Amino acid sequence: MIGQANRNGPGGGLRSEVNELAPVRSSSEIEIAATPDVAWDVLTAFEAWPSWNPEIKSVTLEGGVEAGSQFRWKSGPGTITSVIQDVEAPRRIAWTGKSFGITAIHVYKLEQLGTRTLVMTEETYEGTVARLFNGVLRKKLERVLQSGLRHLKAEAERRAQTATKEMS
């Protein structure tokens, strides 16, 4: 697992770790044949997500890739409003999101393995909808995380190969 719940202050504050007690929780990881910088660049170019991940229809980022910036994105039938909570380039990014009565916390961690990168992701859902439909939502979340990592891998490896060819 990637982390523990982290709520700074009595009102909730920054939430940069998943909630281990959330009714819906899933994690996945993948090894990518690209450096963390390449994988990070793909992952954090939010508005380019639709160009490499067919599950994402649109993304609009307000501000830069920094804590407090908000982005809205469409995936499936709904629009999700997310706020970046924590950024440690090129190793970690966390954001929260809300849609359909679900509050999500999503964390990505990147670990260098020589010239490769291990990308780990974990996400939790909280709220009434998450409690009522936890089994169905957990299966869907597992599928979405695995699919997203496969698409991230394909794009990061494509970019790494292109850069290698250009340097030759």
Q: Is residue 60 part of a domain?
A: yes
**Widest pairwise Cα distance in the chain:** 55
In-domain check, residue 18: no
Q: Which CATH number fits the domain that encloses residue 35?
A: 3.30.530.20
Residue 2 in any domain: the answer is no
Provide the pLDDT for residue 6.
39
**85 lies in a domain?**
yes
Distance between CA atoms of residues 137 and 150, nearest Å: 20
Q: Compute how many other C-beta atoms are within 10 angstroms of the C-beta atom of residue 91.
A: 13
**The predicted structure's pLDDT at residue 15:** 64
Residue 10 lies in a domain: no
> Which pLDDT does position 14 carry in this prediction?
54
Range of the domain at 45: 24-162
What is the four-CA torsion angle of 82, 44, 152, 159, rounded to 10 degrees? 160
- Is 3 contained in some domain? no
Its pTM stands at 0.88
Residue 158 lies in a domain: yes
In the chain, how many domains are there? Answer: 1
C-alpha–C-alpha distance, residues 63 and 123, integer Å: 23
CA triple 137-65-20, angle to 5 deg: 35
Q: What is the model's pLDDT at position 112?
A: 97
Q: Collect the ranges in the chain with pLDDT lower than 50.
A: 1-13
* Residue 149 DSSP class: H
CA distance 14 to 10: 11
Residue indicated by tokens 């966390």: 94
3-state secondary structure (DSSP) of residue 116: strand
Domain assignment present for residue 36? The answer is: yes
- Are 80 and 55 spatial neighbours (Cβ–Cβ below 8 Å)? no
Supply the DSSP string of 62-108, one letter for each residue. ES-SSTT-EEEEEETTEEEEEEEEEEETTTEEEEEEEETTEEEEEEE
| pLDDT on residue 4 | 37
pLDDT computed for residue 77 by the predictor: 84
